[in-house]
A and B are shown apart, each in its own frame.
Chain A
Amino acid sequence: MIELDGVRARVGGFELRDITFTIPARGYGVVIGPAGSGKTTLLETIAGVVPSRAGELRLQGRAVTDLPPERRGIGMVYQHGFLFPHLSVEQNILYGATDHAFARDIAERAGARTLFDRHVSSLSGGERQLVALARAIAARPPVLLLDEPFGALDPRRRTLVRRMVRELHRELEMTVLQVTHDFTEAGLLGDVAVLLDAGRVLQSGPPEQVFRQPASAYIAEFLGAENVFAGTVRVLGDAAPDWVPGEAEALGRGHHALEFRSEALTLYTVGDASPGAGYAVIRAEEVVLSLEPHPSSARNQFRGTITEIATLGALTRITLDVDGTPLVAALTTRSARELGLASGTAAYAMFKAMAVHLC
């Protein structure tokens, strides 16, 4: 378990402030944040490499705030590996290991065993990361801190190593905290996502929740939500309107039917948002496109003109102009092709009431 409560740390002119979050025991946490947000400093503070100036830090239920790195029971993998250049690859991997057979097994699984005879200086960036990963895990730490450990790996190797780390995480019952820029990776790996910006935690929680229910419009945009609208919230009443049949049970728990008006769009949703100014976030994956209007009574349906079709591998993002407001939908490339969507043609966008998140 990794628990931070009001932790502060300073490196030069940069400061981490009031960092509070928990990664459960044997959990996998991901830290997401822009460059310079303090991700590495956060890991170094947990590791004890950077001293914390305030707050409480607990690892595996043990208060470690005043303990040196070697007594915290952590392993750390830096983005650049920092393999000891005066030692061989094998010596690097065995450096902190007490069980050499286990360390060699980890090296084998990480694909680093074949590198044993190579000099550290001859390794590629990806190979360095593999060796650094094996070196940290070989010491069998209960808590593993990973600073963008897959950044230098090619896509195929990245998938394999990511899977290997996930397997070892389960087998060795480690608590892992990983820094990543990759939102897909965060969604794939993380039990808990921690959003960091300018040395502060913006939001933390299960990735699904963080991505679907961002705490602010800034977070939503940072997380790549294309549909973020400023507008006004109005409470429609506690009675379940006919357009929320699926969400009617939510209304009994302090939620209301809500109307959100932005410049061109009027959206309907269910939630506990207060009336007044706010933001509506709709993830592009939640928007369904069709060439004909949907026959259901769904309120969140808009007619517009397709202005842009961007295909990136299996996903295609389509921008619909709805009376001057762009609305982005993400479809599988196959669906987009089957629908025969073309730029300049009219289409209908639709989404469920629960797809609208107000913040």
Chain B
Amino acid sequence: MEGALADSPRQRSMGSYRIASIVAALVGSLFLLFLIAPIARLVGAGGAAGIPRLFTDSELRASLWLTGLTATAATVLGVFGGTPVAYLLARHAFRGRAVIAAILDLPLLIPHPVAGIALLLVLGRQSAIGRVLLHAGMQVAGSAIGIVCAMLFVSAPLFISGAREAFARVEPRYEAVARTLGDPPWRAFRRVTLPLSLRGLIASAVVMWARAVSEFGAVVILTYNPKVASVLSYDRFTSFGLQEALPVAAVLVILSLVPLVILRTLRPEGSAGLVP
């Protein structure tokens, strides 16, 4: 009889599992709320005013164009410069590979205003390179070129990291087979490795572009004017207060949904995370 009255170990285990599940669900819900609430509130409060502003506020329109163009330019440069580096890191074991990989990740870890200061030291008017470029008619700090440089510096590591993963997922023996079938290395890359890693490369480029669009810290140090959308939002907040900053911020959030949708369509079934 005693056995029938007392809970069996299996019952006790099921009870603990239920309690743990409830606690996990509660914590998870609070965490999701923390992530979603500010964005939802922002879009709710500023979205209605923000969309019409696109037609009436020429500074906002110019700022969005500038953001889009500079982020695209930075992404194109990142893709062209970063793809060979990512391929090298994914395919070849060489001395110093870990050091190079760590250096490439560094811009992701340092505070972005610090990255901006570092760039200013190298590319600013007072620097040797800055003076040479200025002499050649190319002003970096305080221009769209400065914005592209800041965006490239802070977001290219995301592309390189994603592209490296994309290349690493392609079995090297596909390339080996292509080589035995007569392809030189470049043609084997173009005909086999590139098509097989393309989704991952595009997704990495989209992530880089999205990161470039949202960059503030490095850009604001290197180029306050002309203003990209993030700087404009900050400028309106400090100059005119929350109400004026809200529509700009809401438009930025809505536009950020575009790369998210692209990533969703590129993501293969069953994979998690941003980069497919």
Write the residues of chain A forming the contact surface with B, with a CB cutoff of 8 angstroms: 44, 47-49, 68-70, 72, 74-76, 78, 82, 84-86, 95-96, 135-136, 139, 141
Contact = CB atoms under 8 A, between A and B. Distances in A.
B201 to A, nearest CB: 14
**8 A-B pairs with the lowest CB-CB distances in the bound complex, closest first:** A96-B181, A69-B179, A76-B180, A49-B176, A86-B195, A96-B182, A82-B173, A82-B177
B177 A74 contact: no
Contacts of A44: 176
B181 A139 contact: yes
Given A70-B179, A78-B177, A95-B178, 16 more contacts: A47-B176, A48-B179, A49-B179, A68-B185, A70-B183, A72-B180, A74-B180, A75-B180, A82-B173, A82-B176, A84-B177, A84-B196, A86-B196, A96-B183, A136-B181, A141-B180
Contacts of B196: 84-86
18 contacts: A48-B179, A68-B179, A68-B184, A70-B181, A72-B180, A76-B176, A78-B173, A82-B171, A82-B173, A82-B174, A82-B177, A84-B192, A84-B196, A85-B196, A86-B196, A96-B181, A96-B182, A141-B180
B180 A49 contact: yes
A70 B173 contact: no
Interface in B19-46: none
B176 A69 contact: yes
Secondary structure at the A interface, as helix, strand, loop or mixed, is loop
Contacts of B183: 70, 96
Contacts of B176: 44, 47, 49, 69, 76, 82
Contact of B180 (A84, A86, A136): A136
Contacts of A96: 180-183
Given A44-B176, A78-B173, A82-B171, A70 B182 contact: yes
A69 B177 CA distance: 9
Interface in B165-201: 171, 173-174, 176-185, 191-192, 195-196
B173, B181, B182, B196: most-surrounded residue (chain A CB, <10 A): B181
A49 B174 CA distance: 11
A86 B177 CA distance: 14
A310 B177 CA distance: 43
A44 B185 CA distance: 16
A84 B174 CA distance: 7
Contacts of A49: 173, 176, 179-180
B181 A135 contact: yes
A141 B178 CA distance: 13
A82 B173 CA distance: 7
A151 B227 CA distance: 65
Nearest to A85: B196
A60 to B, nearest CB: 15
Nearest to B176: A49
A346 B50 CA distance: 102
Interface in B195-222: 195-196
Contacts of B192: 84
Contacts of A135: 181
B196 to A, nearest CB: 6
A7 to B, nearest CB: 18
Contacts of B191: 95
Contacts of A74: 180
Contacts of A75: 180-181
Contact of A95 (B181, B184, B195): B181
A200 B171 CA distance: 27
Nearest to B187: A70
A127 B124 CA distance: 62
Nearest to B183: A70
A72, A82, A85: most-surrounded residue (chain B CB, <10 A): A82
Given A84-B192, A85-B196, A86-B195, A76 B177 contact: yes
Interface in B135-188: 171, 173-174, 176-185
